[in-house]
Structure 1
Amino acid sequence: MSLYRVTPTNRELFFGEDEIIVSKTDEKGRILYANDVFVRVSGYSENELVGAPHSILRHPDMPRCVFWLLWETIANGEEIFAYVKNMAKTGDFYWVFAHVTPSYDENGRISGYHSNRRAPTREAVNKADALYGQLLAVENQHEDRKQGMHAGIAMMLDLLKQNNVTYGEFVFSL
């Protein structure tokens, strides 16, 4: 399967409030299952999605530190909620409110991940977008991508500490 080089547009896609985007991945984040809503909104065919890394949808406006937090959380066997700006095959973008949980094999080991994504409120999108813009600006101040990500993580953790909230409490306050 080839991954496409997609150029972002400034066009936003929407999906229904009553629709849920569902995907399942293996432990490395390769897509094993994509429901019809996921296929339609992403613009990729099911064949293009299955086997591809979930990062095929990564929009360049998303700070790396948010994905670091997501992966750290689910790899530790915990669920996470997050607002994510995804990019469709066309370059158009769409926002989701994601709930990601680990899946386990018969021996109790993490074997993959399951994600349900709903349409977020416009108010939450505006707040998340503003925060992500700040985090991305901090990340982009560093030539070294890893240093930039760590600077974004530090900023995010400092924000949580200042507000005396967990990440989960923060997300649900948006």
Structure 2
Amino acid sequence: MANNEITFGEDEFIVSKTDLTGKITYGNELFIQISGYDEKDILNQPHKILRHPDMPAVIFKLLWKRIREGKEIFAYVKNKTKNDDYYWVFAHVTPSFDENRKISNYHSVRRKPTQKALDFIKPLYASLLQKERSGGINAAEDALQQLLKDKGMSYDEFILSL
């Protein structure tokens, strides 16, 4: 089983789009390449096929809540490839709207995260995951809210400060 980190350039962007249920409807060339899937095999699949088991569910709960409300979100995400390698991204996820201002799909642009941010995010996510495993998603959510309270920052301020 592979478990190597895949990286990409600081000037490269991974782009994908999903429908309202999270099924992939578009991926740019870099997205397809890094995922390890053929385009025909990844399109119409749920985006969560890329979800790495090291990712705390609370992050995705927050992400889905925000985008379903029509708001953007930034998040650090560890994804897995088809052969179980992994890659870290700094994701900017936004809803897209139709002419009636109803959400029509979701769009994500991901860039390479800084090492400084990952040095903070990796132990934070490990801690949140441990809280989820012992006390459920609500325990992780409480821990994340306590961190933000201790820092005196909103989630957005915190993420963008890393």
Please give the TM-score of this superposition, normalised by the length of structure 1: 0.90
Matched to 1:161, the amino acid is K
How many equivalent pairs are there? 162
2:124 corresponds to which of 121, 124, 131:
131
- Cα distance in structure 1, aligned partners of 2:49 and 2:99: 29
**Partners of 2:104 and 2:89 in 1: how far apart?**
24
Give CA deviations for 1:103-130 in whole Å, capped at 9, x if unaligned.
1112111111000000111121121111
Q: 2:22 aligns with which of 23, 29, 33?
A: 29
Match in the other structure for 2:111: 118
Matched residue, 2:61: 68
Q: 1:157 — aligned with what?
A: 145
1:92 aligned residue (62, 85, 89): 85
1:172 corresponds in structure 2 to: 160
Aligned-partner Cα distance in 1 for 2:33–2:3: 19
Does residue 77 in structure 1 map to residue 70 in structure 2?
yes
* Superposition deviation, residue 16 in structure 1: 1.1
Distance 2:57 2:46 in 1: 16
Q: Secondary structure at the match of 1:86?
A: strand
CA-CA distance at 1:17 after TM superposition: 1.1
User: Where in structure 2 are there 5+ consecutive unaligned residues?
Assistant: none
TM-score of the aligned structures, taking structure 2 as reference length: 0.97
1:102-157 Cα shifts (integer Å, max 9, x gaps): 01112111111000000111121121111000000100114xxxxx1111111111
Q: CA RMSD in A?
A: 1.0
